[in-house]
Amino acid sequence: MWVIFGILVLLALIVLIIFRFTKKGKKRKIDYHNFFIIGVIWTGAGIALGIGSGSYVLFIMGLVFMTLGLIHKKEWKQNIADRKKRWQNMSKKDKKKLMIIKWVLIGFVLLGLAVFLIMNYVV
């Protein structure tokens, strides 16, 4: 139960961060290249989790993301160019904030992995 609560809190924080850094009134184009990448990762993770637990929901969602990305493959070049342009147009302050957020999230992932390994193999 605490794990589910922790995941919900983390998701809420991520959503708040996303809303904080998006500009109001300015719509972005959908990045189908990232959809494809997410699909590849989720498909691989879904296979592994499906074999272990028998639930292939993540695998199916990964296939959906991969398919959406592949259907719009002609837009990948523009997506990548837009992403580079956004990074170049960011102020140093915004770049620093983004890097801090990325490192904090990486730290949480590593901390979670450490706790998992300790709880399953040491205790």
Any domain includes 58: yes
Nearest to 44 by CA among 63, 68, 19: 63
Counting the structural domains of the chain, the total is 2
Q: Tell me, yes or no, whether 3 lies in a domain.
A: no
In this prediction, residue 64 carries a pLDDT of 92
Dihedral Cα 32, 35, 41, 47, nearest 10 deg = -120
Is this prediction's pTM over 0.75? no
Mean pLDDT of 76-85: 80
pLDDT of residue 15: 78
Q: Specify the pLDDT at position 10.
A: 81
When pLDDT is averaged across residues 4-11 and rounded to a whole number, the result is 78
pLDDT at 89: 82
- The pLDDT value given to residue 25: 60
- pLDDT at residue number 94: 84
Q: Are residues 96 and 116 in the same domain?
A: yes
